[in-house]
Structure 1
Amino acid sequence: MGLLGILVGLGLLIWLAFRGWSVLLLAPIAALIAAAFDRQPLLANWTQTFMSSAAEFLAQFFPIFLLGAVFGKLMDDSGAVVAVANFITRSLGERRVILAVVLAGALVTYGGVSLFVAFFVIVPMAQTLFRKAAIPHRLVPAAVILGTSTFTMSAMPGTPSIQNAIPMPFFGTTPFAAPGLGLIASMIMLGIGLWWLHRAEKTARRANEGYGDAPSSTPESAADDERLRGRAATAREFDPAEIHHGHHSEVAAPVLNTILPLIVVVVINLVMSLVVLPRLDFSFLAEQRWGNTSLSAVAGVWSVIVALAAAIAAVILCNWTRLPALRQTMDAGANASVLPALSVASLVGFGAVVASLPAFDMVRDWVLGIEGGPLVSLAVATNLLAALTGSASGGLTIALDALGQTYMEIAAQAGIDPGILHRVAVIGAGTLDILPHNGAVVSLLAICGLTHRESYFDIVMVGIVNSVIALAAVIAIGTMFGSF
C-alpha cells in the first residue's frame, strides 16, 4: 500500500499541476496522501519532514534565486539583454539567423540572466529574424531552448544556474566540477542541436514553407496568463508576472556596458571557486553556531552568490543612466524570485516525505540496483524525477536528498571523483525535464504563440535527444578516464 500511495500522490501532483493548480497547494497534499497510504503520522510528516526539508532548501539556495532574479531584471530593464542579442545578430549577419538566436540565448543565460527574462527578449528578436530569413516560425522555440535550456544550464563549467548549484552541498563540489567533461557535453549538445535545426531549415526551404502565419499570441499576453505563471514557477528561478514591472530603458545600451556584467559573473565565480575561498581559513564553520559544517559544503554556493552580487553592482554602475526606476526594478526582481523558490522548495518537501516512508526502500533498492554502475543509476534517478515533476531543480534536489549521501559513500569506495557525480546529476536532471508538461516549455510555446503539435518535436530533438547523447558520452568517458 505504501508504494501505491507514493504513485497516487505523485500522479495527483503531476496531473493537477499540468492543469494549472499551484504546486504550493499540491505538494503538501500529495505528500500527505502518500503518508496516509503508508499509515504514517500526517501532521508530523507535514510540519517536521515536509516543512523542514523545504526550509532547508530555501536556507541553502534562496540567495541564488534572489540575486539571480534581481540581476536578470536589471539586465532586462537597462536594455542590456536586447543589446547583447542585437550585437550577436549584427556580428553573425542575417545568413546565420539560427546560430545568432542560439548564441544570444547561450551568452545571456551563461552570464546569469534568468531564463524567462531571456525568453521575453530573445523570442521577439528571433521572430523578426526568422521572418526576414523566411525560416518557419515553428522552429523558434527549439532554437531558443537550445541556447537557453541545455548546455548553459547543465553542462558548461561555472554556469550560475540553480541546477548547477544544487549538487554542490551534497558532493562538496564547485560550479566548475568536471570542467573537461562539461565542455565535451556542451559541444555535443550544441553540435547536434545546430545540425538538427539547420537540417529542418533546409527541409522547409525545399518545401517552400516560409515563415508561416503570425503567432496567435504575444509575449505580453503570455506574461499575464496565471496558469502559465504557476507552471513556470516550478521550472526556473523567475516569476514571469514580474517581467513587465519596473521601468525599461528607452536608451540603447553600449555593447561593452552590457557584456561586462556577464563577464563579471563568470570571472568572479571562477576566482572565488578556485583561488580565493580555498586559500582562506574557514575552520570556524565547524562550530555549532555556524551549522557544524565545512567549507566544501558551502563554497560552491558562496562563489555563485558573490559572483551574482558583483554582477549586480557592475550592471548598475555600467548602466546607471539607463535605470531611471532602480528601486522598482530591483523590487520586481526580488519579487520574481519568491514564487519559484517556494514552488521548488515545496517539491523538495514532497520528495522528503516520500523518501522518509518505509515503502521508499523498494524504490531506493531498485535505483541502486540498476546495471551499469553508480553513474548510470544516478543518471536514471535524476532523469526520472525531473521528468515526473517537470522541474530539473525540483527533481534533482529530491534525488540528491534521498540518495546523495549513498552515492557519496559508493563513490568513496569505488574511487569516483565527486565532480563526475555532480556533472552527471545536473545533465541528467536537465534532460527529460523538457517533457510536454515542463513549465518552461509550456511558457515558451505560449510566448511564441505556438502549440506542442507545431513545435514540440523539434524541441525534443534539440533539448532531449542531444542531452541524452551528451549524458551517455560523459558517463562513458568519465568511467574510462575519470574526472577532468
Structure 2
Amino acid sequence: MSLLIVLAALGFLILVAYRGYSVILFAPVAALGAVLLTDPALVAPMFTGVFMDRMVGFLKLYFPVFLLGAVFGKLIEISGFSRSIVGAAIRLFGPQRAMLSIVLVSGLLTYGGVSLFVVVFAVYPFAAEMFRQNNIPKRLIPATLGVGGFSFTMDALPGTPQIQNIIPTAFFGTDTWAAPVLGTLGSVFVLAVGMAYLEWRRRVAWRNGEGYGDPATLVNEPVAFTGPQLAHAGIAILPLVLVFAANKLLTLGMPHWYGSVHSLVPSVMGNAAPVVQEVSKIGAIWAVVGALLVGIFAVLVLAWRPVVTGFAESTRTAISGAVLAAMNTASEYGFGAVIAALPGFMVVANALGAIKDPLLHEAVTVTGLAGVTGSASGGMSLALAAMADTFIANAQAAGIPMEVLHRVAAMASGGMDSLPHNGAVITLLMVTGLTHRQAYKDIFAVTLIKTAAVFVVIGIYYATGWV
C-alpha cells in the first residue's frame, strides 16, 4: 500500500504538471496527500519540518542565481548581443546548423561551470533569434537546450564541475575526471544521437511546412533590438566569456579567501551569536553569483545606450520570471523531500536491490530515485547515501574500479530525472514560454537518449574493460 501511495503522488504531480497547472500549488498537495494516506498525524509536521524546510533551503541558496541569471539573459537580449552572436554563428556554422550552434554554446557554458539554470536564461535569447531566422519551430528549443546543457556536459564529460559529477567523489574516493574514456564515449553517444534526433525533428517540421510559429500566439518572445547598430560579435560574446572566466576564478579563490568554514558576528557589539557557514558547500554558489554580477556589469559598460532605454521594463519582466521559476523548482524540492521520507520510497529503493549485476543495480537505482524525486542531484544523493556501501562491496567482489561506479552513478542521475515534474524542465518551459503539451515530447526523447547512454557505457566497459 505504501508503494502505491508514492506512485499515486508521483503520477498525480506528473499529470498536473503536464496539463499546465502550477506545481507551486500542486507539489505540496501531492506530497501532503501522500502523507495523509500514510499517517494523517504527520501532515502538519511534514509540511513545516520537511516540505517548507527543503523549499526555503533551496530558495536561500539558489534564488540569487535565478534572479541574476534572468537579468543577465534579458540584458544580453535588449543589448542586441544575442542577435550579433547569432549572426556570427550562422556565418560560422551555416544556417542549416542552428541547432548545433545552440548545443555547443550551451555545452561550453555548462562545462565551464555555469549553472544549468543560468544557461537557460542566458542562451534562450540566442536560441530564439537563431530559430526564428532559420524558421525552425520554437517548440524544439527546450530539447535543443537539453542536449547542450542538461546532458553530456552535466554528468558524462570528464572534469565537468556540475554538482552531478561532484557528488560521487565523496562516496567513492574519486575525482571529477573519473573514468575519462567511458565518460568521453558516453558524451559522444549523447551528442551524436541527440543531434541526429533534433535534425530529424527539424526536417519533419520543414516537410510539414511548420515554421517558427505565429508571433501573435507565442509567449516570452525576446524583444527586437531597436538600437542604431549591432555590436561586433567579438564584443557581444565578451560578457559570456567573462562569466565563464569569473566563475572559474572565483570557484578556485573562495576556499583560499574564506577557508573551509567561515564565521561572522552580525553585530558590531558582538552580542549576537556567530553565523557559521561551510564554504565548501556554498562557495560554488557565491562564485556563480559573483560571475553573473561581472557579466551584468560588462553588458552595461559595453552597451549602455540600448540597455538603459529599456532597463526598467525589461528587468521587471526578468525578475517576475525568475521569482516564478525559482518557486516552481523549490516546490519540487519540497515534494521530493517529503516523498523520500515516506515508507513507500524505501520499498522502491529496496526492490531495486534485487538486480544482481553491480553496475546495472547502481544505474537503475540512481536513475529510478532521480525520477521519483524529480531531481538528478537529489535522487543520486539519496541512492548513494543509502546504498553506496553495497555498491562498493558488489563492485569490489566483481573487480570493478571505483571510477566506473562514479561515472555510472553520475550519468544515471541525469537520465530519468527529467520527467514532467522536474524543476529544471518546468523552468526551461517557463523561460521559453512553452507548455508541456507543446515541447515535452522532445524533452522526453532526450531523456531516453541520456538514459540509454548509461547502459551503452556499461556495455562498453564489460566488452572492453576500458575506464
Task: Please classify the TM superposition score into its range, dividing by the shorter chain length.
Answer: 0.7 to 0.9
Q: 1:358 to 1:436 in 2, by over 3 A?
A: closer
Q: Which residue of 2 aligns with 1:399?
A: 379
Q: Which residue of 2 aligns with 1:186?
A: 187
Deviates more, 1:46-55 or 1:396-405: 396-405
Partner SS for 2:208? coil
8 A Cα contact 1:97 1:130, kept in partner:
no
Does 2:327 correspond to 1:366?
A: no
Q: Which residue of 2 aligns with 1:177?
A: 176
The offset of 1:26, in angstroms, is 1.0
1:56-80, Cα deviation, whole Å (9 max, x unpaired): 2222222322222222222122222
Which amino acid in the other structure matches residue 188 of structure 2? M
8 A Cα contact 1:36 1:42, kept in partner:
yes
Q: 1:219 to 1:170 in 2, by over 3 A?
A: farther
The offset of 1:319, in angstroms, is 2.3
Q: Which residue of 1 aligns with 2:214?
A: 218
The offset of 1:352, in angstroms, is 1.4
Q: 1:257 to 1:138 in 2, by over 3 A?
A: closer
The offset of 1:252, in angstroms, is 1.6
Unpaired runs of 5+ in structure 2? 265-272
Does 2:12 correspond to 1:7?
A: no
Deviates more, 1:191-200 or 1:303-312: 191-200
Q: What is the CA–CA distance in structure 1 between the aligned matches of 2:226 and 2:387, rounded to whole Å?
A: 48
The offset of 1:342, in angstroms, is 1.4
Which amino acid in the other structure matches residue 176 of structure 2? A
Q: What is the CA–CA distance in structure 2 between the aligned matches of 1:167 and 1:107, rounded to whole Å?
A: 16
8 A Cα contact 1:104 1:122, kept in partner:
no
Q: Which residue of 2 aligns with 1:75?
A: 76
The offset of 1:317, in angstroms, is 2.3
Q: Which residue of 2 aligns with 1:87?
A: 88
Q: Which residue of 2 aligns with 1:229?
A: none
Q: What is the CA–CA distance in structure 2 between the aligned matches of 1:283 and 1:460, rounded to whole Å?
A: 39
Q: What is the CA–CA distance in structure 2 between the aligned matches of 1:33 and 1:448, rounded to whole Å?
A: 25
Partner SS for 1:266? helix
Q: Which residue of 2 aligns with 1:226?
A: none
Q: 1:410 to 1:384 in 2, by over 3 A?
A: closer
Q: Which residue of 2 aligns with 1:232?
A: none
Which amino acid in the other structure matches residue 468 of structure 1? T
Q: Which residue of 2 aligns with 1:306?
A: 290
8 A Cα contact 2:194 2:449, kept in partner:
yes
Q: Which residue of 2 aligns with 1:17?
A: 17
8 A Cα contact 2:154 2:164, kept in partner:
no
Q: Which residue of 2 aligns with 1:338?
A: 323
1:185-240, Cα deviation, whole Å (9 max, x unpaired): 43332223334556778x97xxxx954324494366332xxxxxxxxxxxxxxxx5
8 A Cα contact 2:369 2:382, kept in partner:
no
8 A Cα contact 1:99 1:194, kept in partner:
yes
Q: 1:102 to 1:476 in 2, by over 3 A?
A: same
Does 2:42 correspond to 1:35?
A: no
Q: What is the CA–CA distance in structure 2 between the aligned matches of 1:221 and 1:29, rounded to whole Å?
A: 31
For residue 432 of structure 1, the aligned residue among 411, 416, 423 is 416
Q: 1:319 to 1:219 in 2, by over 3 A?
A: same
Q: What is the CA–CA distance in structure 2 between the aligned matches of 1:418 and 1:220, rounded to whole Å?
A: 54
Partner SS for 2:237? helix
Which amino acid in the other structure matches residue 244 of structure 2? V
8 A Cα contact 1:57 1:348, kept in partner:
yes
8 A Cα contact 1:383 1:431, kept in partner:
yes
Alignment of 1:145-160 (within 5 A): 145-155=146-156
Partner SS for 1:221? coil
Q: 1:6 to 1:381 in 2, by over 3 A?
A: same
8 A Cα contact 1:141 1:448, kept in partner:
no
RMSD over aligned Cα atoms: 4.4
Q: Which residue of 2 aligns with 1:231?
A: none
Q: Which residue of 1 aligns with 2:130?
A: 125
Q: What is the CA–CA distance in structure 2 between the aligned matches of 1:200 and 1:52, rounded to whole Å?
A: 42
8 A Cα contact 2:189 2:453, kept in partner:
yes
Q: What is the CA–CA distance in structure 1 between the aligned matches of 2:237 and 2:164, rounded to whole Å?
A: 26
8 A Cα contact 2:321 2:431, kept in partner:
no
Q: What is the CA–CA distance in structure 1 between the aligned matches of 2:260 and 2:288, rounded to whole Å?
A: 21
1:142-176, Cα deviation, whole Å (9 max, x unpaired): 6565345433555457878xxx3477579669xx9
Q: 1:332 to 1:283 in 2, by over 3 A?
A: same
Q: Which residue of 1 aligns with 2:450?
A: 467
Q: Which residue of 2 aligns with 1:259?
A: 237
The offset of 1:54, in angstroms, is 1.3
The offset of 1:12, in angstroms, is 1.7
Unpaired runs of 5+ in structure 1? 224-239
Q: What is the CA–CA distance in structure 1 between the aligned matches of 2:431 and 2:292, rounded to whole Å?
A: 25
Which amino acid in the other structure matches residue 412 of structure 2? G
1:232-259, Cα deviation, whole Å (9 max, x unpaired): xxxxxxxx5xx658x8553423212221
Partner SS for 1:21? coil
Which amino acid in the other structure matches residue 451 of structure 2? V
Q: What is the CA–CA distance in structure 1 between the aligned matches of 2:406 and 2:225, rounded to whole Å?
A: 38
For residue 259 of structure 2, the aligned residue among 282, 294, 297 is 282
The offset of 1:44, in angstroms, is 1.0
Does 2:343 correspond to 1:352?
A: no
Which amino acid in the other structure matches residue 314 of structure 1? A
8 A Cα contact 2:77 2:125, kept in partner:
no
Which amino acid in the other structure matches residue 255 of structure 1? A
Partner SS for 1:222? coil
Q: What is the CA–CA distance in structure 1 between the aligned matches of 2:340 and 2:17, rounded to whole Å?
A: 21
8 A Cα contact 1:78 1:322, kept in partner:
yes
TM-score between both structures, scaled by the size of structure 1: 0.72
Q: Which residue of 2 aligns with 1:230?
A: none
Count of paired positions:
438
8 A Cα contact 2:418 2:447, kept in partner:
yes
For residue 248 of structure 2, the aligned residue among 255, 260, 270 is 270
Q: What is the CA–CA distance in structure 2 between the aligned matches of 1:303 and 1:411, rounded to whole Å?
A: 33
Q: What is the CA–CA distance in structure 1 between the aligned matches of 2:166 and 2:275, rounded to whole Å?
A: 18
The offset of 1:96, in angstroms, is 4.6
8 A Cα contact 2:369 2:380, kept in partner:
no
